[in-house]
């Protein structure tokens, strides 16, 4: 599972005793913007990655690689969630009402 780069930066700040507000000021960005990045709610931009490297020495290349991997894993997970499975069943005629009820209850599509 990929890790959002914000989750890599956050422990560094704690280790160095730098608050998010102080760090946002060092980077020249809004504290709310930094908070969203550190909490994985916003993607890390190239520009911000370079600023972080300059400020605390975490390599921008490493952070951007983590962001790319995170984006890829997120896209794959979304793609997998949107796939639908097709199942073919043969139901005896006397059980068709049961099948209709199952289709209705679970939102399946059924072709008779």
Please return the burial class of 105, using the count of CB atoms within 10 Å of its CB with bins 0-12, 13-18 and 19+.
exposed
What pLDDT is attached to residue 77?
A: 82
Distance (Å, whole) CA 27 – CA 29: 6
What pLDDT is attached to residue 82?
A: 55
Residues 6+ apart with CB under 8 A from 44: 4, 5, 6, 37, 63, 64, 66, 67
What pLDDT is attached to residue 85?
A: 52
Q: Report the predicted TM-score, pTM, of the whole model to 2 decimal places.
A: 0.69
């Amino acid at each position: 599972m990929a890790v959002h780069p914000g989750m890599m930066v956050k422990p560094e700040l704690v280790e160095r005793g730098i608050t998010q507000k102080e760090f946002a000021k060092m980077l020249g960005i809004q504290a709310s913007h930094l908070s969203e990045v550190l909490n994985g709610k916003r993607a890390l931009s190239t520009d911000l990655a370079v600023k972080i490297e300059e400020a605390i020495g975490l390599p921008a290349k490493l952070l951007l690689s983590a962001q790319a991997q995170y984006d890829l894993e997120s896209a794959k997970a979304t793609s997998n969630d949107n796939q639908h499975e097709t199942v073919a069943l043969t139901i005896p005629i006397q059980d068709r009402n049961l099948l209709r009820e199952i289709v209705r209850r679970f939102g399946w599509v059924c072709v008779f």
